Structure 1
Amino acid sequence: MAEKTNQQVYPFTPATKQPRNDEESGALTSEQELKRKKRIKLAISIAAFAVFQTIVILVFVLTVMRVKTPKVRLGTDVTFQNFSTGTQASPAFDLSFTTQVQVKNTNFGPYKFDSTIATFTYQGVTVGQVIIPMGKAGLRSTKKVGVTVNVNSNALPSTTNLGSELSAHVLTLNSHAKLSGKVELMFIMKKKKSAEMNCTMTIDLSTKAVQSMIC
């Protein structure tokens, strides 16, 4: 019987993995570079958007949400209804006139103010008063309130230099008022603000007209 020939069996050697060629490597590198550029562009876009939003918020806070104090003053359109003055020897005056109290609101919301009293003085002495009724100045607008003012020299002491002013055909009156109210923003935020009026009115007695109005 023929003897079986001892044969040694060797396992198959796995095929060696072939390296990628230059074209495949180049394509992979280009794809990775493209993705990297896209990520950089996305990051830049997000950063630019965040900066833009920050600027918008700052502008909004510094302009729209900033509450400014309204301004109040007497109008220059003054119409005299009664005009009576004395002389240097017998100084006196009794005047009545119509004018406007102007409340200027530069805020992005209405300004609601309470009723108050405007006082007219001559050399520190009260010579007349008028009531300014409660009202509302709309957003970025001016509220004009018509008033009729009566002033006279009845309360003045004899020591004033009214006679010398009358001889120069001028009469200087000061007016003061303080409005208390609230500015309303975005229908939710209310900020208390007081507006104060200090005006000096010089009247030309020869022409019976206002010579100057300084507020």
Structure 2
Amino acid sequence: MAEKISDETPNPETINDESPNPLAPSNDEESITAHSKDQNRKKQMTCLLYIILFAVFQTGIILLFVLVFMRMTNPKFRVRSGSFIDTFNVGTEASPSFDLRMNTQFMVKNTNFGRFKYKDGTVTFAYKGIPVGNAMIEKGRVGARSTKKVDVVVKLRSNGLSLNTRDNELGSDISSGVLPLTSSVKLKGKIHLMEVIKMKKYAQMNCSMEIDINSRTLGNIICE
């Protein structure tokens, strides 16, 4: 007995409905894409933050440079005090002269944020513009925003004065009991900041003072 062969053909719509759609994205693919976008966004934000921080840092460095380096000033060098211990010989109005030995204290004041290194220098003491004594200042250093005291013994003698100056001016000053003097020097050096920046500066002195003959003291010290 022959088998009956079905002549029914399959419905194309039914076949299409049962087949999976290869173009439809799965949930895993969507999750990976979203995560990747989130990571990229975070990287961009981090990069932007670093750029902002670097810009702020650079601005701070520039401000520090302007406030510290550009405003560096010359240190001050002054006569602070003086005393006479052993030699104090002063003539008379009729025979004017002087031979003094003064223990002088100088002051170097540095107001900068870097230390000041200075070279050797010679302080010149003068009477009426004529040198009467010298003080040798050895090279040294002053810390940042600090003051250093330097003690030097100075010999003051009237040997170099002209006869006219002695008779007319020195005699009159001895009679009044006051010897006016001036001191001057220019100490050359450099301001050292953070061992990187070095700027040439100098400490200049222009002082006037008076020696009281009767009390044997140095006073009325005025420095520019």
AA aligned opposite 2:142: A
TM, length-normalised to structure 1: 0.72
SS across alignment from 1:63: helix
User: Could you tell me the percent identity over the aligned residues?
Assistant: 43
Counterpart of 1:156 in structure 2 is 161
Counterpart of 2:201 in structure 1 is 193
Counterpart of 1:213 in structure 2 is 221
Structure 1 distance, partners of 2:155, 2:183, is 12
Counterpart of 1:173 in structure 2 is 181
5+ residue gaps, structure 1: 1-47
- Provide, for residues 91-115 of structure 1, a one-character-per-residue CA deviation record: whole Å limited to 9, x for no partner: 0011111122211111111100001
Shift of 1:62: 3.4
Structure 2 distance, partners of 1:83, 1:56, is 58
AA aligned opposite 1:135: G
Shift of 1:201: 1.2
Which structure has the larger Rg over C-alpha atoms? 2
Structure 1 distance, partners of 2:56, 2:92, is 70
Tell me whether 1:120 sits opposite 2:125 in the alignment: yes
Shift of 1:130: 1.4
Runs of 4+ off more than 6 Å: 48-55
Structure 1 distance, partners of 2:159, 2:102, is 17
AA aligned opposite 1:171: L
Tell me whether 1:60 sits opposite 2:64 in the alignment: yes
Structure 2 distance, partners of 1:102, 1:65, is 24
TM, length-normalised to structure 2: 0.69
SS across alignment from 1:151: strand
1:111-150 to structure 2, matched below 5 A, reads 111-150=116-155
Q: Which has the higher helix share?
A: 2
Question: How many pairs were matched up?
Answer: 169
Structure 2 distance, partners of 1:93, 1:57, is 58
Counterpart of 2:25 in structure 1 is none
Structure 1 distance, partners of 2:210, 2:58, is 51
Tell me whether 1:103 sits opposite 2:111 in the alignment: no
Structure 2 distance, partners of 1:49, 1:169, is 70
Shift of 1:49: 8.3
AA aligned opposite 2:92: T
- Provide, for residues 149-200 of structure 1, a one-character-per-residue CA deviation record: whole Å limited to 9, x for no partner: 1001011111111000000000011111110111011210111112111111
SS across alignment from 1:75: strand
SS across alignment from 2:163: coil
CA spacing shift, 1:166–1:127, aligned 2, 3 Å? same
AA aligned opposite 1:147: V
CA spacing shift, 1:188–1:207, aligned 2, 3 Å? same
Counterpart of 1:79 in structure 2 is 83
Structure 2 distance, partners of 1:120, 1:65, is 34
Structure 1 distance, partners of 2:149, 2:219, is 21
